[in-house]
Amino acid sequence: MTIKQKIKYHCTNKKYCQIKRKVGGDKFLNSEGYIVDFSREFIVVQEVNDFRVLGYYIFPISTVVDIRYNNMDKYFNKILIKEKQVELVKNKYPLDLTDWTTIFKSIKNAGLNIIVECEAPDDDDFIIGPITKITKSAVSIHFISTNGYLFPEPTRVTYNRITVTRFDDNYVNVFSKYIRQR
């Protein structure tokens, strides 16, 4: 099966999988969970960690090197079914996955804060906060510092630097509740 056929199979059949992504240079990262939506260019995964179904992340299909579904993954899926975690797998946010611009507009319209990452070894960034501006080439985020303060000016991130965007996960939701003003 091709990568796109595997994506469609896992999304349609609600199967847990491990997704190997190339994020820059010789750096590869694994993402694990359930594929809940996809387009020609992007994939939406509901993350699984410690036998819990968590939030969502989006990344370009072009970064996907392999999708693994072996005996270990099948067993893991059975455990998640028995733990009633698979019942939580759903696409709660129908997003327009045409391009980064439409993705960020959809997330902003849902009223969600995000995490945008560049995971490349030579350009590592982690930006969390509310979306303030969306253009054809970049998204601006009102960055929340590690001590909970909003930076005075939004941080602009060009789409070509983004390897993954996360939303509606415990980290961003809890951290966003405790934003402090200077």
Residue 155 confidence (pLDDT) above 80:
yes
Question: 1-92 sits in which CATH class?
Answer: mainly beta
- Tokens for 33? 């969970």
The predicted pLDDT at position 31 comes to 94
Q: Are 25 and 121 in contact (CB under 8 A)?
A: yes
Q: Domain ranges in the chain?
A: 1-92, 98-182
- Tell me the per-residue pLDDT of 116-148, one tens digit each, with 9 for 90 and over: 999 988 877 899 999 999 999 999 999 998 899
CB 79 within 8 A of CB 73: no
**Gap between the Cα atoms of 82 and 29, Å rounded:** 28
Residue 180 has a pLDDT of: 85
Residues 6 or more apart in contact with residue 71 via CB below 8 angstroms: none
Per DSSP, which regions of the chain are E strands? 16-24, 27-38, 42-49, 52-60, 64-68, 114-118, 125-129, 131-134, 138-141, 155-158, 164-167
- Over residues 42-100, the pLDDT tens digits come to 999 999 999 999 999 999 999 999 999 999 999 999 999 999 999 999 999 989 999 99
Q: What is the largest CA-CA distance in the chain?
A: 53
Q: Are 126 and 117 in contact (CB under 8 A)?
A: yes
1-92 and 98-182 agree in CATH topology: yes
CATH topology of domain 98-182: SH3 type barrels. (2.30.30)
Nearest one of 77, 62, 75, 56 to 10, comparing CA atoms:
77
Position 161 pLDDT exceeds 80: yes
CA distance 163 to 78: 30
